Amino acid sequence: MQATAYTYDPETRCGSVLLDDGTPVPFDAEAFDAGGLRLLRPGQRVRIEYAGGAEGAPGGPEERRVTLVTLQTL
């Protein structure tokens, strides 16, 4: 899934992305590290993978957990 980097704290390696519908989704240091990135700037297009909280599932999208954040390449 594609998204746009929204926030990023280099000290904690945590932040959030915006889905294309404008929904913010947070990510933790583990998800950032899984992508092999060193830095992330707001506005960069990224590819994310997440677990749980699928549409229509119990808990809904509020329980999504990002498991990977990496740069989107063409």
Q: Which domains does the chain have, with CATH numbers?
A: 2-71 (2.40.50)
**Which residues lie closer than 8 Å to 39 by C-beta, 6 or more apart?**
8, 10
Three-class secondary structure of residue 31 per DSSP: helix
For residue 54, the model assigns a pLDDT of 58
Q: How many angstroms separate the first and last alpha carbons of the chain?
A: 14
pTM over 0.85: no
What is the pLDDT, as a whole number, of residue 57?
47
12-65 pLDDT, tens digit each:
999 999 999 999 999 999 999 999 999 999 999 999 998 876 554 445 556 678
Inter-residue contact 47 to 72 (CB < 8 Å): yes
Nearest to 46, CA basis, from 56, 36, 58, 57 = 36
Residue-level pLDDT at 55: 54
Mean pLDDT, residues 8-14 taken together: 96
